Structure formats: structure tokens, C-alpha cells
Structure 1
């Protein structure tokens, strides 16, 4: 009896150890299995996007998202699951979405996404929602169904916009690209992607910032600045409300200005001051329009007329969107006049060389000074003095 009891107790103890081992070891594979299942679901979703297979996409979740993005010409689309939190038959997931627009993006755009998932009665996961991750901007298709028009040098995508409206943007962008190449050169992609949301709030959503930051700003350009020479995804994002207030020339100037930022991106670094990058973009924007300095620089003209001649070139802080509107306008106008002066005295080619020379520096200190000396043969003091004289002569 004693031996049997000992054997029985040993057996129970061993069985308990086995059960504990199974539970402890079985938990991780179960979690890994769920992750693998969800990743396969996201892979199926990606394949459906790329193959324009609405039926296959619908099997992975709601159809609305497919309808919103189906017109966009994607060259690639994939998710990488980074985190998964399951609660019974539901789960939340974090993922990185990478995609390329065919013919326009040289490398994938990567954005954070937050997904909610559900489990069907037969044990299969489906996507219930796919939204921007916290602190990530929206994609255009998050705002509604995307309409696409393609030009000779441009791809214009809009939400809440008519085909005619997008065709107008296409015409402006197709004019801007060769205009920029004519001044800057052809060492860039020579095409642009223009995003036109339905409202100012839509613009802010794409940029992941408050709408107040862009009120009155007609358009901005996003993308990677600096050194690689292969910014994967410059996007010109339009504020349709401010843009609608512009005249025909103003609309063209804005699109050409933003296209210049796309062209110069690889040569615009942390060493490049905003008076140069914004002034150069305005210089190309106004080039060929026939606008005189008094017409194109009204705020600076008023200041000079009032005897308030600037003592120094605009600082980066002067270009803050929250600045006084008149001071902000003067900053842009001052940068434009500086670039216009370089063209007048040293020529178009030397202006482009100067821009590139500044951008070769890794840091701001010394960048402009070295480029002024090596390219234009002047000191910063001499350049500023000539600029002030130029303002007086052109705007006085």
C-alpha cells in the first residue's frame, strides 16, 4: 500500500509537471501562430491591392478601403506586422505599410498603421479597420475615394475633386516641370505627384499637423531632404481653399515653386538656409511671368518705401508659419530678391552652382560663407551690402 501510494503520488506529481510544461510551452507557439495568421492575412490583402482583385480584398475585410484606393497605380504594397494584442476573438495590431506609386517613387514610402481585427466563426482573421498609427499622417485614401489623372510630367490625385479640377492641376504641373528643368537642369526625376484633398483639414490630415498651421498656405512639399539624391516620395500637397483664392499667375507660381523643391531636394540639406531654398523656388516660380519686383514683393516694397530697409537676410525663424503675415511675406520676398540679384549679376548657371555648393556642406556654419567666396567671389558682408542696395534700387 505504501509503495502504491508513493507511486501514485509520483505519478500525479509528474502529470502536474507535464501539464505545467505543456501550458508554459504551449502559450508562445499559440501567440506565434496568431501572428503568423495575421501576417498571412495582411499578405493576402497586399496581393489583392496589387492585382486589383476586389473579391480577394473583400475576403480580408471591409470593401470600402479598396474602393478608396483602387485607382492609385501602385507598383508595390506590403505590410510588416510589428505588434499584436489579442483579446479573445478580437485583436489590435501595429504594422508598417510600405508602398510605391508606379513610375514616380524611387523607393518605398513607409508609414505606420493601426489595425483592428476580428475572428470569423470558422476561426479566420479579418481586418475590421486600417487607420494611421498615432503621430502618423493620413494617406489620401483614408479621406475618401481617390480620383487620378495622369499628365506628361505629373500624377494628380484628389479626393472630393472633380475630373475638371484635377485636370487644371495637371496642366499647371505639366507646365512647371519643364520650367524648373530649364533653370535648374535635368538632374532630377522630372515628374511630380500632386495631392489635392477636399479641404484645409484634409491637407492638415495628410501632413499630420493642425489645420491652423497651414491656413493661408496654398501648398507645401513633403519628402526627404539631404544627401542621398533619391528622395523616395516627394508630394506636393495642395490647400484647395487657399489655392482657390489665387489668380491664374499665382496658381502657376505656386505649383512651379513647389516643383522646384522636388527638383532641388537632393541638394537641399541642413546647411541650406531657408532664404536660399525658398528664395530660389520663388525665383523659378516667377521666372517668365513678367512680374516686376514691386508687383511680386509688395510687403518689402512698402517697408523700403517707409524707410525700413532690412539690415540682414531673412533668418530661418522669419519663415515660421506662425509669424506675422507681413513679416513672413517679407522673408519670402527677401530671399527671392537675393536670388534675383545673383541672376542679374552672376547669371542663371552661377545661381544654380551656388545653391548646390551650399548644400554640399554637412552643417550650416560656414556653408553660405564658403559658397559665396568660391562661387561668387564675395564675402557675406559684401553680399548683404549689395543685396540692400539692390532692394533700394528695385523697390525704392
Structure 2
């Protein structure tokens, strides 16, 4: 190698070294890492603690919306929360945004013996180097929560709790109905139950469906639904109102519906998979009718009309008869038939035996309960019920 060749080699090596240094200096610095599960859990833990403790500063540190009107913080201001906690189940993230899947466990103070759960999605963004929650909503296919729909007003008393997204005046109206419904339910059932109800009042049929996890058509025409579980250590039952159907009722009808649903809360622990709907719905209707008596034919118009046509039902209504599929006449006859079956039971065997029969059906079979509690059979009772319909609906006595 000549001296010229050596000089050329040294100059090439220098250029390559300089190029490497320049390339390294111009490469973009690595960005912040995407949100991880542990970091997400820590953030949601701080968010939950801020809400439980009503600490606005701590809440603002975890949220882009702060505590202003319309924020989740403001929507929950009147809700008596005893607990609120998230369990992260999944994270999808890049360096600037993330979606966190979580199970929310929340408990209403003085009402829930155990937390209620809800599947949630939380949208997060990175701002000024810190992650914050931008929005929270129901996960796809999951039921929503009342405060997803707007600011919640609360009214509570010895009878329980009303939560609604309408006006404070509307919440007060439902509170007065519940105050009368709970004693009526207790008088009908007695026994061991909390003697409290939780009533949720969304602002629309769509809101009702969202709380129940179904489509609006499922609940159209249904004034209220009670949800819950008979297992121990579960959240309190929720009476969910459909404001559109409920709003079409007169004062007596509104009281009737809430009393009926309160009875479902009272009987929940004794209601099992074997309990037929003619019994559970009929028992609830009997309590509601006794709290607001009317002449029998006026209280059972669909069945009275059928009996007048000579169309006395051949059998007690089966569970399918209680589904709303557009035939309101058939649905009305099912409810009225179940009510009159329970009325016959009480008339012939007494209220204590009616309650004992209800409890027995929940743990045994219907046929066994007829035999062991009432000393009869389902067939014999059905025949007596058909005779009862012919006799009683023909002269319309007072309830």
C-alpha cells in the first residue's frame, strides 16, 4: 500500500465514522412507553379513592373533565357510595392514548350488602407526561349505569333509596310511592327481608333498556322491572322504572306498580327456579290490589271479558304467557289469572298457608307443594280455580 492509498483509507474511515455519528445524532429519541396494566391499575386506584373520599383535587389529577357540570364527579354527587373500585382486565394502548377494560365494583351505602359489578371501558390520554381518564362507558354488550345517563338526584328514607336522572321533584314523588309500597309488601310477606327498596328512574325507555342490558322493544309497555339474585351477599335488588309506560298510569296505577315490584324484592330469597310466574306475579298483584281495592271485574277486566264470552282458561297460565309479545290481552289475562289463583289460595287456606306454599314451591316442586302444604293436587286446584273464575267474575265483589 502506498502512502497515497493509506491517506485515502484514513479519509474514508473518518467519513464513515462521521456519518455514523451524524446518523446516531439525527435518529429520533425513543418515545414514552405505552400504558401498561400495572400503571393503569394504579391510575384507576387513585381515581376510585378520589371518588370514594370526594377529594376533588385527587379526582382532577386523574381526569381530563375535572369536577365541572356534566362530569362523572358531578353526576355522582348525590349518590351515596360506600365503595367504588376497578379491576383492570385488559389494556390497548400506544404512547398517546389507551383504552382500559375493567370491572367496576360499587356499593350503595345503607342498601347493598355486597358490591354490584359492571363491565366498563375507560378512554385514557397522555397529557403533560401523565395519563388521565377522558371518558368512561359501558363495555360492549354490558348493561349501563344510571349515572351514564346524566346527573342523578337521590331521595332516601327508612323505606330505601330512589335514584333518578329527572328532576329532584320527580325523585321525591317516587320516594312517596316507595314509602307506601314497602309497608304494603311487608304486610303481605313478612319474613326476613331488608324492608327497603332501591328504585332507579332513568329518563326514557332507551335509558331503561340500557340499565337492563336489552333492547327498548323488550320493555315497551312494561312500567317497571325488578332485578336481583336470591343468593346471599349480593347487591340489593333494583326496581328499574320505564318512565314512558309509567307516565301513562294514573296515581293508583303508579302506586300499584311500585307496590307490586316491592313485593318481588320481599319474596326474592324464597323465589327459586321452580317458582311459576303465575305464583310470583299473582302474589305480588294480590298485595298491590289489597293496598288499593277495586271491584273484582274492574281489577280483572281482560279475564272478566273472556269469562263473559264463555272462554274460561283451561289451565293456570304458564310462564310463556307472561312474556310481552304484542298480545296485551293475553298478558293481562295471565296476570289477572295468577292474581285470582293466589286470591283463591288465601280465601280457602289462609294467608299463612299461601306464604308457606310460596316458600315450598321455591325449594321443592309445585306438585309437592300442593300435596304437602295444601293437601291437594295441581289438577284439583286448577278445577277449583276455573270454578272460582266463573263464580266471582260474574258478580264483581269488592277486593
- The TM-score range, normalised by the shorter chain, is 0.7 to 0.9
Distance 1:156 1:207 in 2: 17
Deviant stretches of 4+, over 2 Å? 228-231
- Structure 2 partner of 1:46: 48
| 1:192 corresponds to 2:197 | yes
- Structure 2 partner of 1:318: 321
Q: Could you tell me whether the CA contact under 8 Å between 2:92 and 2:99 is conserved in 1?
A: yes
- Structure 1 partner of 2:183: 178
Distance 1:139 1:342 in 2: 40
Distance 2:115 2:137 in 1: 19
| 1:252 corresponds to 2:255 | yes
- Structure 1 partner of 2:388: 390
| 1:83 corresponds to 2:85 | no
Note the aligned Cα RMSD (angstroms). 1.3
| 1:94 corresponds to 2:92 | no
- Structure 1 partner of 2:353: 350
- Structure 2 partner of 1:36: 38
Alignment of structure 1 residues 137-216 onto 2, 5 Å:
137-159=143-165, 161-216=166-221
Q: Could you tell me whether the CA contact under 8 Å between 1:230 and 1:266 is conserved in 2?
A: no
Q: 1:291–1:111: structure 2 CA closer, same or farther, 3 Å change rule?
A: same
Q: Secondary structure of the equivalent of 2:324? A: coil
Q: Secondary structure of the equivalent of 1:251? A: helix
Q: Could you tell me whether the CA contact under 8 Å between 1:116 and 1:128 is conserved in 2?
A: yes
- Structure 2 partner of 1:379: 377
Residue from 90, 99, 111 that aligns with 1:104: 111
- Structure 2 partner of 1:267: 270
The C-alpha deviation readout for 1:337-376, integer Å capped at 9, x for no partner, is: 1001111111111111100000013xxxxx1100001111
Distance 2:113 2:196 in 1: 12
Distance 1:55 1:291 in 2: 57
Deviation, 1:52, is 1.1
The C-alpha deviation readout for 1:306-364, integer Å capped at 9, x for no partner, is: 00000000011111121511001101111001001111111111111100000013xxx
| 1:135 corresponds to 2:133 | no
Distance 1:34 1:198 in 2: 38
Q: 1:143–1:48: structure 2 CA closer, same or farther, 3 Å change rule?
A: same
| Unaligned runs of at least 5 residues, structure 2 | 1-32, 395-399
Q: Could you tell me whether the CA contact under 8 Å between 2:115 and 2:234 is conserved in 1?
A: no
Distance 1:87 1:153 in 2: 49
Distance 1:231 1:280 in 2: 24
Distance 1:221 1:181 in 2: 16
Distance 2:369 2:332 in 1: 26
Distance 1:172 1:262 in 2: 15
TM-score by length of 2: 0.87
Q: Could you tell me whether the CA contact under 8 Å between 1:231 and 1:265 is conserved in 2?
A: no
Aligned residues: 357
Q: Could you tell me whether the CA contact under 8 Å between 1:151 and 1:171 is conserved in 2?
A: no
Deviation, 1:205, is 1.2
Distance 1:71 1:82 in 2: 29
| Unaligned runs of at least 5 residues, structure 1 | 1-29, 362-366
Residue from 299, 302, 305 that aligns with 2:305: 302
Q: Secondary structure of the equivalent of 2:203? A: coil
Q: Secondary structure of the equivalent of 1:341? A: helix
Distance 2:264 2:338 in 1: 14
Q: Secondary structure of the equivalent of 1:287? A: helix
Larger displacement relative to structure 2 (266-275 or 62-71): 62-71
| 1:114 corresponds to 2:121 | yes
Q: Could you tell me whether the CA contact under 8 Å between 2:121 and 2:137 is conserved in 1?
A: yes
Deviation, 1:296, is 1.1
Distance 1:142 1:306 in 2: 49
Deviation, 1:178, is 1.2
Alignment of structure 1 residues 20-35 onto 2, 5 Å:
34-35=36-37
Distance 2:186 2:311 in 1: 36
Q: Could you tell me whether the CA contact under 8 Å between 2:302 and 2:332 is conserved in 1?
A: yes
Distance 1:248 1:145 in 2: 26
| 1:68 corresponds to 2:75 | yes
Q: Secondary structure of the equivalent of 1:60? A: coil
TM-score by length of 1: 0.88
